């Protein structure tokens, strides 16, 4: 019976919940864990709750700013990390052995991949049918995306010691919303009108005073934000943009991530005031990869795509 019981437990381990729990402990919170795993914060919370119910005990002491594991929770998280680490090493080795010289692995944030990179990759595929691109999404905390990535596209201040770093593009910040909100009831045509609309916020932005938040935009533009009627927060950047497109509320647009939606009319700029962001997108890779022919081909294409972006001037302003 003992052998049968052990086999049953091993075969029925809740692997998704274990992985989510380990990420919460390592990241000290649900939001950062959700960003790393590419799922919603609610999904991570449900996974951890299910794991606690499965084990019959609490594993975390939840706080407003951080979640701390109980002693048993810390022990379990270490065991999961050790097991996942060994699995990751083997998988990375297998992937490296199976990867051809024509396969390029790019690491970037989920929001950037979904909104900006994916819609453009078809053009790369048509121009370079002999090359295969694989996208690895992560939380951006590893400088170049880890050993499995050839190139990382990172978002931040550009401080990546020991790596080849090139600024790909900057960003500007401004409010955006669906066209229907501008002339709706209530309308959205002046700063004070923000008090009558839902304000959309991105929980993934964690750069201290440099974070491109609503408060940062207001300070930079020299205006005072009215109190929000309602605030909706999202644990994924692409969800913030999509919520704005669907008319859920007003988001603070980050230029590279909303420029296409402004250009095709899904979003408009209802208010004046454009703030330069202190953060940029960066190309990051090891010195040896910079000399790679396949990396050079991809980077040349990427730079051309950035240069071909629509200009913000006169695009998508609600008053136009």
Looking at the chain, the whole-number percentage of residues with pLDDT higher than 90 is: 39
Of residues 252 and 19, more confidently modeled: 252
Classify burial at 100, counting beta carbons within 10 Å of its beta carbon; exposed 0-12, middle 13-18, buried 19 or more: exposed
Residue of 153, 161, 163 whose CA lies nearest to 282:
153
Residues 6+ apart with CB under 8 A from 55: none
| Count of positions (residues) in the chain | 320
Q: What is the pLDDT of residues 175-217, one digit of tens each?
A: 999 999 998 888 898 999 999 999 999 988 878 888 899 999 9
The verdict on domain 170-279 having CATH code 3.40.190.290 is: yes
Check whether 160 has a pLDDT greater than 90: no
What are the residue ranges of CATH 3.40.190.10 in the chain? 98-165+282-307
Q: State the CATH class of domain 98-165+282-307.
A: alpha beta
Tell me what pLDDT residue 303 has.
95
| Nearest to 212, CA basis, from 246, 269, 255, 245 | 255
What is the distance between the alpha carbons of residues 45 and 48, in angstroms, rounded to a whole number? 5
Considering the chain, what is the average pLDDT of its residues?
A: 84
Residue 197 sits at φ, ψ, to 5 deg, of -130, 155
Greater model confidence, 40 or 148:
40
**Residue 6: its pLDDT value, please?**
33
CA nearest neighbour of 116 among 302, 285, 318: 302
Q: Are 36 and 139 in contact (CB under 8 A)?
A: yes
| CATH code 3.40.190.290 region(s) in the chain | 170-279
The pLDDT tens digits of the residues spanning 72-116 come to: 888 888 888 877 666 655 555 555 554 556 788 898 888 899 999
- The reported pLDDT for the residue numbered 39 is 80
Question: Do 125 and 119 touch, CB atoms closer than 8 A?
Answer: no
Cα–Cα distance measured from residue 28 to residue 36, given in angstroms and rounded to the nearest whole number: 12
pLDDT tops 90 at residue 258: yes
pLDDT tens-digit map of 136-148: 887 666 655 555 6
Mean pLDDT lowest among 9-13, 251-255, 263-267: 9-13
**What's the pTM value of the predicted model, to 2 decimals?**
0.68
For residue 198, how many C-alpha atoms fall within 13 Å in the half-sphere facing its CB? 16
In the chain, residues under CATH classification 1.10.10.10 are 2-96
Question: Is the pLDDT reported for residue 285 higher than 60?
Answer: yes
Task: Give the CATH number of domain 2-96.
Answer: 1.10.10.10
């Amino acid at each position: 019976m003992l052998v049968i019981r052990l086999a049953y437990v091993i075969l029925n381990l809740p692997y998704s919940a274990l992985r989510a729990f380990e990420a919460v402990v390592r990241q000290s919170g649900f939001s950062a864990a959700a960003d790393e795993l590419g799922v919603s914060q609610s999904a991570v919370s449900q996974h951890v709750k299910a794991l606690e119910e499965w084990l019959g005990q609490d594993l975390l002491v939840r706080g407003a700013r951080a979640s701390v594991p109980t002693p048993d929770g810390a022990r379990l998280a270490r065991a999961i990390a050790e097991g996942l680490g060994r699995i990751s090493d083997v998988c990375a080795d297998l992937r490296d052995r199976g990867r051809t010289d024509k396969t390029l692995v790019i690491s970037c944030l989920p929001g950037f991949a979904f909104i900006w990179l994916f819609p453009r990759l078809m053009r790369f595929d048509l121009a370079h049918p002999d090359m295969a691109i694989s996208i690895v999404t992560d939380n951006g905390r590893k400088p170049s995306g880890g050993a499995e990535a050839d190139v990382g596209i990172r978002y931040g201040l550009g401080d990546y010691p020991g790596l080849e770093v090139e600024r790909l593009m900057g960003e500007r910040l401004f409010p955006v919303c669906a066209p229907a909100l501008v002339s709706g009831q209530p309308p959205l045509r002046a700063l004070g009108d923000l008090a009558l609309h839902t304000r959309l916020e991105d929980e993934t932005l964690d750069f201290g005073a440099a974070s491109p938040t609503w408060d940062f935009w207001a300070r930079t533009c020299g205006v005072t934000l009215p109190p929000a009627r309602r605030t909706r927060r999202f644990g994924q950047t692409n969800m913030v943009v999509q919520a704005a497109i669907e008319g859920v509320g007003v988001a603070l647009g980050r230029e590279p991530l909303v420029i296409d939606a402004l250009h095709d009319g899904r979003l408009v700029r209802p208010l004046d005031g454009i703030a330069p962001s202190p953060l940029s997108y960066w190309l990051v890779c090891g010195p040896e990869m910079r000399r790679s022919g396949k990396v050079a081909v991809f980077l040349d294409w990427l730079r051309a795509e950035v240069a071909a972006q629509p200009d913000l001037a006169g695009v998508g302003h609600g008053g136009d």
